[in-house]
Structure 1
Amino acid sequence: MIENRSILRREQATLMAALRNPSGISGSYDELPGDGETLLRSGLSLRHMRMIAALDDHGRVSAAAQVMNISQPAASRMIAEMEAVLDVKLCERLPRGITLTPYGKALARRARSILLEMREADREISELKAGKGGSVFLGAVTAPAIELAVPAIREIRRIYPRIEITMQVETSNVLARELIASRHDFIIARIPDDLNPRLFESRVIGVEKACLIVRRGHPLSMGKAVRLEDTAAYDWVFQSGGSPLRQAMESNFLNRNIALPDRILNTSSLLLTLVMVAQSDAIAPVSIQVAKFIQSPEGLAGAIDVVQTEFDIEVRPYSLITVKNRALSPAAKMLHDFILREVG
């Protein structure tokens, strides 16, 4: 109980430092300007932090109140309390919901870090009490999920069978935002072009190569190398616009002055991609790691063929990514470091 109170005081101090010092979170009361105690004495609490994060997530006071399991008038009072303490307006009311002001967004961003640390403290204490090995939340794009994450998870679970691991396989755009929102410990992906790279610490750990897949018996799977222009007459299954794999494939068309395909199904679902390919004459670009798996006896052997092509498809390198200045839990650091060792 004493440890919990100490953690709570440290996190409240972190909040105060964050609000006074936008460039970083201070770790010591002595580093704060002024008396350094104003916000702590004001009564700004973790419930306030949960409220501002919920407002940022949902954009409605009613939805935030539901998440907090309180009434809407009580939620409005909490917002007013925060605005009175900080002496700034945190949100603007719109005809349909609310939007956070720059002050509100700054507080929400720092609140997420504080709530994450409290979640980690609670998780570690619970795991120590239960004798469990810890838990990890990670995300990965498809190729390194198969090639790196799954083997690493298998080996870590062999050595530490009580570690609980949750993995999300998605696009880099989704994963990076989940990481920022504190829903992942780390990700294996690419930093999206529209996010500030200074938010992250990343290390390139692999290059993804891709190939084209079709159904078994497809006209393009008859053995000879296929030219890119030979594919133009068929339907294509692509990831959404802006994904690195799609960009790499479209670059192949543009660099050869070949018109881009105009019969396209867009989906981020690998399962839907495989179903469409297996049940039609559609073509889909996938990572070589995915193609190898679905051709193996453990995958979909007999249903999918890899097209032999005269051209290569190389995708942007992927990285092991964490949020800058966010400490990993012991279990997450163990899996993170294991992956780093495996890639050399």
Structure 2
Amino acid sequence: MRPVDLLNGRLKLRHLVLVVVIAEQGSVLRAAEHLRLAQPAVTRALREAEQFLGVALFTRGPRGVTPTLFGEAFIEHARTVLAELRRAGERIDELNRGDVGTVTIGTLLAGSNVLLPRAIAALKADRPGITVIVQEATFDTQVPRLLDGEIDMILGRLNPIEDQPALRQITLYSEPVRLVARAGHPAQTLPGLTLPDLLTYPWVLPLEQTSLRHELEQVFRNEGLELPGNRVECTSILTVRTLLRDTDMVAALPELVARIDPDLALLPVPLASVRRLVGVTFPAHRPLTPSARLMLDHFHAQAAELTA
């Protein structure tokens, strides 16, 4: 098979759907049940795809099927094609109806507690028919889903993307990261509070794969300190807030999170080397849907109000 042969019409959309569903279900039988098709029809379609491509896409075993090296590569591209087709359908529907659509946002800690809910509220007031889906995860986890078209954008502290030309970023505002504890925390009464003073308390740190964690590690190294041994690792803002409010834990959070929460207090220990830019990350070569463009407009508007 030559690459150009993929365009001759023999490989059809149903082959892509079937291969992806087989991979997700782990067996031809479960894929057939999921698609409400007869198992022989699914088996025949898989055989057609493999014969056309000239390679085996799955290895068969007693408990189902496993993608081969060729299968993994084909499934990755098939998912991208299907995601783009879904986006095409959504975009046509949005353009046709004007006020209905879906925007899916991957969110990080920064921006999720203040900017995101304000922007969503403004968007829903403007276009109530648009559905907003918010999914929280680390940046590295979000990027593959962004490139596959499963989410429209990532909102949060901007991570370095110099080695990822498939991504582009827009800066919305600069927000310091500060050390935070509960209001009335005993550390607030210590004169000349320093980072070593805070090591006597438990900490909440971001997960290891986050850029904020790496930057905090550098802060501790610069001070000649080890990371707190008594710590919890978490990026859920709700969990972090509850731990801070109900215990003597210390955490590094975007400044706005603490400023709008009367139960939290900023500690006067600077984190000068921690980056402060909050913004949005997109695929570099895929246009935004109308709903995503409206969401971005509201991000800009709310960011301007926060920094006015």
Q: TM-score, length-normalised on structure 2?
A: 0.81
The 1:247–1:208 alpha-carbon spacing in structure 2 relative to 1, beyond 3 Å, is farther
Q: Distance in 1 between matches of 2:143 and 2:285?
A: 16
Aligned-pair CA distance for 1:284: 1.6
- Residue aligning to 1:305: 265
**Corresponding letter in the other structure for 2:149:** S
Aligned-pair CA distance for 1:291: 1.5
Q: Which digits, 9 at most, give the CA deviation of each residue in 1:127-179, with x for residues without a partner?
A: 57777432211222122234543333333333333322222233212222321
Q: Distance in 1 between matches of 2:154 and 2:124?
A: 19
- Residue aligning to 2:14: 47
Q: Which digits, 9 at most, give the CA deviation of each residue in 1:84-143, with x for residues without a partner?
A: 121122234578765434433332233223222332344345557777432211222122
Q: Which digits, 9 at most, give the CA deviation of each residue in 1:264-284, with x for residues without a partner?
A: 212222222222222222212
Residue 110 of structure 2: SS of its match in structure 1? helix
The 1:232–1:158 alpha-carbon spacing in structure 2 relative to 1, beyond 3 Å, is same
Comparing 62-71 and 232-241, the one that deviates more: 62-71
Q: Distance in 1 between matches of 2:189 and 2:63?
A: 57
- Residue aligning to 1:290: 257
Q: Distance in 2 between matches of 1:172 and 1:158?
A: 29
Q: Which digits, 9 at most, give the CA deviation of each residue in 1:174-204, with x for residues without a partner?
A: 2223213322112224687899613323334
Q: Distance in 2 between matches of 1:195 and 1:88?
A: 36
- Residue aligning to 1:29: none
Q: Distance in 2 between matches of 1:84 and 1:176?
A: 33
Q: Which digits, 9 at most, give the CA deviation of each residue in 1:26-58, with x for residues without a partner?
A: xxxxxxx57x753x1x2x333322233335556
Total equivalences in the alignment: 304
Q: Which digits, 9 at most, give the CA deviation of each residue in 1:241-261, with x for residues without a partner?
A: 121222222211111101221
1:201/1:324 contact within 8 Å kept:
yes
1:139/1:188 contact within 8 Å kept:
yes
- Residue aligning to 1:6: none
Give the alignment of 1:166-245 within 5 angstroms. 166-189=133-156, 197-222=164-189, 224-245=191-212
For residue 100 of structure 1, the aligned residue among 57, 67, 78 is 67
CA-based RMSD of the aligned residues comes to: 3.5
Q: Distance in 2 between matches of 1:45 and 1:195?
A: 37
Matched, 1:110 2:70: no
2:172/2:277 contact within 8 Å kept:
yes
For residue 291 of structure 2, the aligned residue among 319, 331, 337 is 331
2:201/2:250 contact within 8 Å kept:
yes
Gaps spanning 5+ residues in structure 1: where?
1-15, 21-32, 296-300
The 1:217–1:204 alpha-carbon spacing in structure 2 relative to 1, beyond 3 Å, is closer
**Corresponding letter in the other structure for 1:274:** R
- Residue aligning to 1:3: none
Identity of aligned residues (%): 27
Aligned-pair CA distance for 1:233: 1.6
Q: Distance in 1 between matches of 2:26 and 2:160?
A: 25
Comparing 50-59 and 271-280, the one that deviates more: 50-59
Aligned-pair CA distance for 1:220: 0.8
- Residue aligning to 1:315: 275
Aligned-pair CA distance for 1:235: 1.2
Aligned-pair CA distance for 1:240: 1.3
1:225/1:309 contact within 8 Å kept:
no
For residue 253 of structure 1, the aligned residue among 208, 215, 220 is 220
Q: TM-score, length-normalised on structure 1?
A: 0.73
Higher relative contact order (CA 8 A, sep 6+): 2
- Residue aligning to 1:149: 116
Aligned-pair CA distance for 1:262: 0.9
- Residue aligning to 1:133: 100
Aligned-pair CA distance for 1:230: 0.5
The 1:67–1:246 alpha-carbon spacing in structure 2 relative to 1, beyond 3 Å, is farther
**Corresponding letter in the other structure for 1:152:** A
